């Protein structure tokens, strides 16, 4: 069981991107929510070019399978970060990631507790990596 507590150091806004599929032309369009950058038509083929590792066939316990059904794309992460996540072999966020990533991306402090192997490291590094600007040649973050 994952436990997440947030402190009000920030409030997030915006909605996740929504997908609209045109059944006649089989094109996919990403629609923008408030404050989202959006992705244009035909830009979803990037997933086909990923170098995915072999599937993890280990038995999974309820600690990592009791999910709400969110996808990593629902967090409006950059394409480069999503590519890295998928190339690491992560297919779907774990319960601790589903609960904590949106809060951390909104700027809130997160204190989370979950069992070993449930994705805690990804839960804090994904928002951290998303907020880094590689064009800035200096240490980034609040002090």
**What backbone torsions phi and psi does residue 58 show, to the nearest 5 degrees?**
-70, 155
Up-side HSE of residue 65: CA atoms within 13 Å toward CB?
Answer: 5
52: in domain? no
Report the pLDDT averaged over residues 7-19.
39
79: in domain? yes
Dump pLDDT digits (tens) for 14-26: 333 333 343 343 3
126: in domain? yes
Dump pLDDT digits (tens) for 22-81: 334 333 334 333 334 444 444 668 878 888 888 878 887 777 777 788 999 999 999 999
pLDDT value of residue 57: 81
* Whole-structure pTM value: 0.61
Instruction: Please give the Cα distance from 25 to 36 (Å, whole number).
Output: 25
Domain of residue 22: give its range. Answer: 8-47+61-131
95: in domain? yes
Dump pLDDT digits (tens) for 87-128: 998 889 999 999 999 999 998 999 988 888 889 999 999 999
Q: How many domains does the chain have?
A: 1
């Amino acid at each position: 069981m994952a436990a997440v507590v947030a402190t009000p150091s920030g409030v997030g806004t915006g909605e996740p991107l929504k997908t609209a599929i045109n059944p006649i032309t089989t094109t996919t369009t990403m629609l923008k929510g408030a404050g989202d950058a959006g992705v244009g038509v035909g830009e979803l083929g990037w997933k086909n070019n990923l170098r995915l590792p072999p599937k993890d066939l280990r038995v999974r316990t309820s600690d990592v399978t009791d999910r709400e059904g969110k996808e990593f794309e629902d967090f409006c992460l950059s394409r480069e970060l999503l590519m890295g996540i998928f190339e690491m072999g992560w297919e779907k966020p774990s319960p601790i990631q589903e609960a904590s990533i949106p809060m951390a991306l909104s700027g809130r402090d997160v204190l989370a507790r979950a069992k070993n192997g449930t994705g805690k490291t990804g839960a804090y590094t994904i928002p951290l990596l998303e907020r880094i600007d590689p064009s800035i040649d200096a240490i980034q973050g609040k002090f």
